[in-house]
Amino acid sequence: MGVPWHVLAAVLAVTLVITSTVSSSAAEMRKLPEGLKLGVATASFQIEGGWNAADKSPSIWDIYTHMPGKIKDGTDGNDTCKSYEFYQRDIQMLKFLGVDFYRFSISWPRVLPTGFADKISEDGIGYYSRLVDELLANGIEPVVTLYHWDLPQSLQDLGGWANPLIADWFEDYARVLYDALGDRVKTWITLNEPKQFIIYGYGMERFAPNIVSAGIGDYIAVKNALMAHAKAWHLYDKEYREKQKGTCGITIATDFREGLSDTPEDVELGRMVMDFEAGFYSHPIFSSTGGFPERMIKRIAEKSAEQGFPRSRLPELSQEEIDFIKGTSDFYGFNHYSTKFYTADGYTKGMYPIPSYEDDIGAVSSYKDYPPAPIIHATKIPNGIRKALNWVKDNYNNPTVLITENGYGNYGGVDDPERIDYYKAYLDAVLDAIEVDGCNVTTYTAWSLMDNFEWDSGLGAKFGLFEVDFDDEQRTRKAKLSALWYKDFIAQRSLDPDYLPQFEENKF
Ligand code: NOJ
């Protein structure tokens, strides 16, 4: 049946008007998708201080930061932002921003001073319980990470993540928290960034616990961490989900890795490095087959054989373990900061220790010609976040993604337009990933609420929306320009590429 030409012409004209309106307004102002939740994040060791308050025992980071020469600027985490004392001010700052949720983490040695679940600290659990209550009273949803790197030293003395029994210890710890807070906490994150705390902590001197068992101990710890995560998830799934009606998952650092050039060698190398970077932790949980990525299994087996090891340095996962780990996350917790480019050209044996994670990769990396950010791992390459979100979507059947961290670091100042610039560019790419590519992103979290203890870089490296005066006993916080911008972004629920707030002083 023919459609009269004037009807076709009218439809075409209307379509043109609609399309041009949509695309021109998209270039100016982008409305956020309905239901996208916005928040900010911190972690216990980075903000709490009170390192020996009440009956808390030392964590591996307390011990590590007290070793001379470990932290670049010589600072330690003893007091940091004093949030253990001043958490109510943190809540005022969250209210000021207008966030939907606050992601924070729990200090294992503060809640379980022996590391084991024989004795629960009243002070420790009381602190987190008050924090949760007051967040909820202010209309802010708590999103809780069980482990953001501060292991009780008592458990490290038994091998920490290199001891397979840690899966049971972690399950016991998780049970204590589900019991104490699960009536009010509906989003649990088991582990934050396994790569960073394991490869840097058990394969390099860069992080606590300062165990250098490169390419061996770190790989063992990865297997144990996956088992620990899976145990905590199964526990929630079987015993708590029905009554508490929450969700439980893992957060994986999903920075993007790609080949330096378009040659087939570089392209394939990029895929392998992405497996080393993120697939190592996500493939066992989110893929349909489970287990470690094939490219890694093959590469590490070959290198191990060349190096005279009687078996691969990458531990095996039995079929039972593969099945136990597979499917154990209700969402993909996604942290992202930047992108690196890899090529095997110019890689020579001995550039990195043999064996090691980097030598197993066997390539050189760079940020290409992107201008390096003051804190290099937050170099602004916004289309990398879109690629990484698509990598998750394509490899793992488009899971629900919680962006649990994204942010920019520098060396200070409340006047921080470059941080706003980073957020705008990354959020624009996230919106493309959602709207154009169909990625299933439900939350966006800025790292971080305030300047805090940036691990091996110390207090000098700053990722906060609020500045903290570390010389002031009261640890006064001041809203940076970026905090004023994020506040407006949350209120408008749209991304305006031209908007820059006027600076005004807001102290907490
Ligand atoms: C990821 C980590 O989870 C967080 O603790 C750290 O401060 C940020 N990256 C910035 O480096």
Indicate if the pLDDT at residue 14 is higher than 50: no
Q: Which listed residue (48, 171, 277, 405) is catalytic?
A: 405
Q: How confident is the model at residue 26 (pLDDT cuts 50, 70, 90)?
A: very low
Q: Is the pLDDT of residue 440 over 60?
A: yes
Ligand 1: does its nearest atom lie under 6 Å from the Cβ of 192? yes
DSSP 106-149: --HHHH-TTSSTT---HHHHHHHHHHHHHHHHTT-EEEEEEESS
* 415 contacts: CB under 8 Å, gap ≥ 6: 480, 481, 503
| Average pLDDT score over residue span 360-387 | 98
Candidates 171, 193, 258, 358; catalytic one: 193
Average pLDDT over residues 341-366: 98
Query: Which distant-in-sequence residues (6+ apart) come within 8 Å of 493 by Cβ?
Result: 31, 32
Q: What is the pLDDT of residues 140-165, one digit of tens each?
A: 999 999 999 999 999 999 999 999 99
Q: Specify the CATH number for 38-494; select among 3.30.70.1400, 1.10.760.10, 3.30.2270.10, 3.20.20.80.
A: 3.20.20.80
pLDDT tens, position by position, 314-339: 999 999 999 999 999 999 999 999 99
412-435 burial: b if 16+ Cβ within 10 Å, else e: eebebebbbbbbbbbbbbbbbbbe
Q: What percentage of the chain has pLDDT greater than the value 70?
A: 95
Whether 493 and 472 have beta carbons less than 8 Å apart is answered as no
Whether residue 405 lies in the annotated active site? yes
pLDDT recorded at residue 144: 99
CA-closest residue to ligand 1 atom 2: 193
Confidence of residue 28 (pLDDT cuts 50, 70, 90): confident
Q: For 80-106, what is the mean pLDDT?
A: 98
Can you tell me whether residue 403 is helix, strand or coil?
Answer: strand
CA-to-CA separations, 186 to 176, 236, 248, in angstroms, rounded: 15, 11, 8
Look at the block and give the residue holding tokens 């987190």.
Answer: 128
Residue with tokens 């957060």, as numbered in its chain: 251
Q: How far is the CA of 142 from the centre of ligand 1 (A)?
A: 19
How confident is the model over 485-504, as a mean pLDDT? 98
**Per-domain residue ranges of the chain:** 38-494
Contacts of 264 (CB under 8 A, 6+ apart): none
The chain-wide mean pLDDT, for the chain, equals 95
Average pLDDT over residues 239-250: 98
- Kindly state the average pLDDT of the residues 237-258: 99
* Segment (H or E) for 104: strand 101-105
pLDDT for 22 beyond 60 = no
Q: pLDDT at position 9, please? A: 47
Looking at residue 412, what is its pLDDT? Answer: 87
Ligand 1 atom with the shortest distance to the CA of 149 = 5
- pLDDT-derived band at 24 (thresholds 50, 70, 90) equals very low
**43 in ligand 1 pocket by Cβ < 6 Å?**
yes
Q: What is the pLDDT of residues 51-63, one digit of tens each?
A: 999 999 999 999 9
Percent of the chain with pLDDT over 90: 94
Chain segment 184-202, per-residue pLDDT in tens: 999 999 999 999 999 999 9
- 196 CA distance to ligand 1 middle (Å): 9
CA neighbours within 13 Å on the CB side: how many for 130?
Answer: 13
Residue 17 has pLDDT above 50, yes or no: no
Q: Cα–Cα distance between 287 and 224 in angstroms, integer?
A: 19
pLDDT band at 480 (very low <50, low <70, confident <90, very high): very high
pLDDT digits 0-9 by tens, 119-142: 999 999 999 999 999 999 999 999
Pocket mutation for ligand 1, best pick of 447, 448, 454 (most atoms within 8 Å of C-beta): 447
Ligand 1 touching residue 335 (CB < 6 A): yes
The three-state secondary structure class of 368 is: coil
When pLDDT is averaged across residues 433-458 and rounded to a whole number, the result is 98
For residue 403, the model assigns a pLDDT of 99
